[in-house]
Structure 1
């Protein structure tokens, strides 16, 4: 369930409808801006549930979105070309346009960070900053590539329901299915899994395993950057994220006692780090 002040609705854009959770800034806080938040692989807008209220208290409206073919946003079940990274980047630009109300802070977790990067490389003008949370410069680590390849191979020959059963047999649902961890219990995780389109998982899984290093292109943009992570990350090793931040001349935040999903592991310190960066932008 979204926080009490949040509203869940379909955001209507020129590229279709996208399911969002939209949380207003606290009415007694200085209204500081709006953020568009993109989840990771096998994730959803619910992954940011624990961040909305502390960011609202700092004066930020936050809009978390399910991407095309993710959970509650529709998309083709079998056409992988619909999920090519440039298409997903254009979706983000359409979402930004639909939100209106001036420039946005763009925030992406894991796969969502790489899609956010592709979006600003297409057109950075709608955005005043980019935060990459647990999202690295290029492809994911070899062990995670093996894990994602196993998932892609399974999806090619099995139904979503059968793959879920197989994942449960391998361990707790929170620990299987890709780099991104989720918020919620087993029923939510299964419902979310079943809402994903297989073609989206196959296509974006391939992207994670083949993504080139585009940090130099990104660094050339006139945007402030923030690289945020937990203290441990097995998807992109922390030293690699440190190096990326240096190449971007980015603000660097490391959340103690957190791993690949600091938004889940340590939401309050994560929210403080996010808002601390946003507070500096344009001031």
Structure 2
């Protein structure tokens, strides 16, 4: 479970809802001073939420980007149905495309609205969803970043943990599962506030969403070749220097297969966005800057 360093949004960030043709999604919308040179849509991972990206918001807006982090359907402050069928990968990918449309996305290969170029980032499970969205329709997006998100199903040890969690969620209440997870956690130095916030997020997440996401993480096929064929679309594989969800060697190999930029954040593990946010934000902004100049549309070249 990602542990945001703070749950307080930085200056120039507002908690809001992104209204789309597929419903409302809770969001944090961070704006730079002046006209943004691009917009980034950030998709959280398993058991996560938009708050996982809080520490990235200020440095990315200082780099000139508008940043919108969302709760997916059934995650934390976004409502969702109680049936697993509502959380198939296709449904969640369609939600991302609707979010892009609502942001007035303008990708390298075409325009959906009149907005700024849209960069898509997915963390962990969110990376699989972002990949699925791009495979459905790449035109809204100027670039794709897969943050600590691997080529296919998670490592065997993680599959065992996810199976245990799925079994628990089908027979126990969210409160009971939370208490059981906390009892198994190694001691941490998190503050009581952090613990209360994590608990509130867990209890507000739909168990059907967690069960469906856990099942997908244990069965996701390798779609790297499909994604590599999506051109032109700059791709970025980021991770910490250690990762027990997808081994770093798997991520290295995936980046080669994709022809993607590869960034390893020193001192970070599965969540560079919370472990080393300044270094992560710097690498993202550098990639987005380069993606803009290499994929400008004819209209942008004339300006």
The structure with the larger Rg is 2
Residue 170 of structure 1 corresponds to which residue in structure 2?
184
Verify the 8 A CA contact 1:38 1:108 in the aligned structure 2: yes
Alignment of 1:276 with 2:286, yes or no, is yes
CA distance in 2, matches of 1:172, 1:20: 31
Q: SS where residue 51 of structure 2 aligns? A: helix
Displaced runs of 4 or more, over 6 A: none
1:159-214: CA deviation from partner (whole Å, max 9, x where unpaired): 10110111111115989xxxxxxxx7101100000010000000010000000000
Indicate which of 37, 42, 45 corresponds to 1:37: 42
Residue 15 of structure 2 corresponds to which residue in structure 1?
8
Residue 193 of structure 1 corresponds to which residue in structure 2?
202
5+ unaligned residues in a row in structure 1: which ranges? 176-183
Q: SS where residue 255 of structure 2 aligns? A: helix
Residue 243 of structure 2 corresponds to which residue in structure 1?
233
1:139-164: CA deviation from partner (whole Å, max 9, x where unpaired): 00011111111110000000101101
Indicate which of 26, 31, 36 corresponds to 1:24: 31
Residue 89 of structure 1 corresponds to which residue in structure 2?
93
1:96-132: CA deviation from partner (whole Å, max 9, x where unpaired): 0011114310000000000000000000000000000
Alignment of 1:105 with 2:119, yes or no, is yes
Verify the 8 A CA contact 1:70 1:195 in the aligned structure 2: yes
Q: In the superposition, relative to structure 1, how do residues 227 and 15 fare at CA in structure 2: closer, same or farther (>3 Å)? A: same
Q: In the superposition, relative to structure 1, how do residues 56 and 120 fare at CA in structure 2: closer, same or farther (>3 Å)? A: same
Verify the 8 A CA contact 1:242 1:252 in the aligned structure 2: yes
CA distance in 2, matches of 1:25, 1:43: 25
Cα drift, residue 3 of structure 1: 1.3
Q: In the superposition, relative to structure 1, how do residues 174 and 147 fare at CA in structure 2: closer, same or farther (>3 Å)? A: farther
Q: In the superposition, relative to structure 1, how do residues 266 and 252 fare at CA in structure 2: closer, same or farther (>3 Å)? A: same
**TM-score where L is the length of structure 2:** 0.88
CA distance in 1, matches of 2:267, 2:56: 17
The count of residues paired between Structure 1 and Structure 2 equals 272
Alignment of 1:58 with 2:63, yes or no, is yes
Instruction: Give RMSD over aligned pairs.
Output: 1.4
CA distance in 1, matches of 2:59, 2:14: 16
CA distance in 2, matches of 1:161, 1:173: 20
Residue 178 of structure 1 corresponds to which residue in structure 2?
none
Residue 154 of structure 2 corresponds to which residue in structure 1?
140
CA distance in 2, matches of 1:99, 1:205: 29
Indicate which of 261, 269, 278 corresponds to 1:251: 261
- Answer with 165-174 or 94-103: which moved more: 165-174
